[in-house]
């Protein structure tokens, strides 16, 4: 029998090693579909994880503000009075003006900028004077997050001003 002749009837030639083009196209299509499903889910999870930075920063800063109030019988005029994270700096007399820190402080991971607003730091027990509002404004990759700016006040009331503010998902960790 000649080496170049066809195999006998009923016998097939061994398959060629490797992948055929059709198999590679199917594999690439399956991988593209898996990536298309995974990327939006990952982006949502990453945004939710970064929101925890705002929540942690607001709660920790509110605790510092309340410690300052307990020690000084007034809310701090700005976040600089809480420098060092302990709220243990000497009490600083405010000048009877509404206090807003001009340069916000970054959150621990840097995804939010914190601001403190105190309507009347000198007379905290006067009508409208016993309040403060902490806000965490998203920066960097969080700027386009649907939850927007986080708010936390002296009563522990929370809120948001983004498109997703009403769904209650923003404050979940």
Tokens of 64: 């510092």
Helices (H), the chain: 21-72
Q: 137 pLDDT exceeds 90?
A: yes
- What's the pLDDT score for residue 20? 83
- Token code pair at residue 114: 């914190």
pLDDT for res 89: 55
What angle is formed at CA 70 by the lines to CA 102 and CA 96, rounded to 5 degrees?
Answer: 45
What pLDDT is stored for residue 107 in this prediction? 84
Residue 36 scores a pLDDT above 70: yes
- Half-sphere exposure for 29 (CA within 13 Å, toward CB): 6
Question: Average pLDDT of 15-38?
Answer: 80
Mean pLDDT of 143-148: 88
Listed by start position, the domains of the chain span: 21-167
- The answer for residues whose C-beta is within 8 angstroms of residue 134's C-beta and 6 or more apart is 58, 61, 62, 65, 114, 115, 116, 117, 151, 152, 153
Q: What is the pLDDT of residue 59?
A: 92
pLDDT at 150 > cutoff 90: yes
- CA neighbours closer than 13 Å in the CB half-sphere of residue 105: 20
Q: For 43-94, what is each residue's pLDDT tens digit? A: 788 888 889 999 999 999 998 888 888 888 878 877 777 765 544 556 764 4
Over residues 116-124, the mean pLDDT reads 67
**Where does the pLDDT of residue 6 fall: very low under 50, low under 70, confident under 90, or very high at 90 and above?**
low
Note the pLDDT tens digit of each residue in 84-106. 554 455 676 444 444 444 456 78
Number of C-beta neighbours around residue 132 at 10 A: 21
**Per-residue pLDDT averaged across 128-139, rounded?**
81
């Amino acid at each position: 029998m000649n080496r170049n002749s066809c195999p006998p009837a009923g016998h097939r030639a061994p398959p060629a090693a490797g992948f055929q083009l059709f198999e590679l196209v199917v594999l690439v299509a399956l991988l593209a579909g898996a990536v298309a499903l995974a990327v939006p889910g990952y982006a949502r999870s990453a945004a939710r994880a970064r929101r925890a930075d705002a929540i942690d920063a607001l709660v920790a800063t509110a605790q510092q503000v309340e410690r300052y109030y307990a020690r000084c019988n007034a809310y701090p005029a700005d976040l600089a009075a809480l420098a060092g994270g302990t709220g243990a700096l000497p009490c600083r007399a405010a000048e009877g003006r509404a206090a807003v820190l001009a340069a916000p402080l970054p959150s621990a991971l840097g995804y939010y900028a914190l601001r403190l607003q105190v309507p009347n730091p000198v007379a905290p027990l006067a009508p409208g004077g016993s309040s403060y509002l902490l806000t965490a404004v998203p920066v960097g990759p969080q700027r386009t997050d649907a939850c927007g700016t986080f708010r936390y006040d002296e009563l522990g009331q929370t809120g948001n001003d983004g498109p997703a503010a009403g769904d209650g998902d923003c404050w979940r960790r």
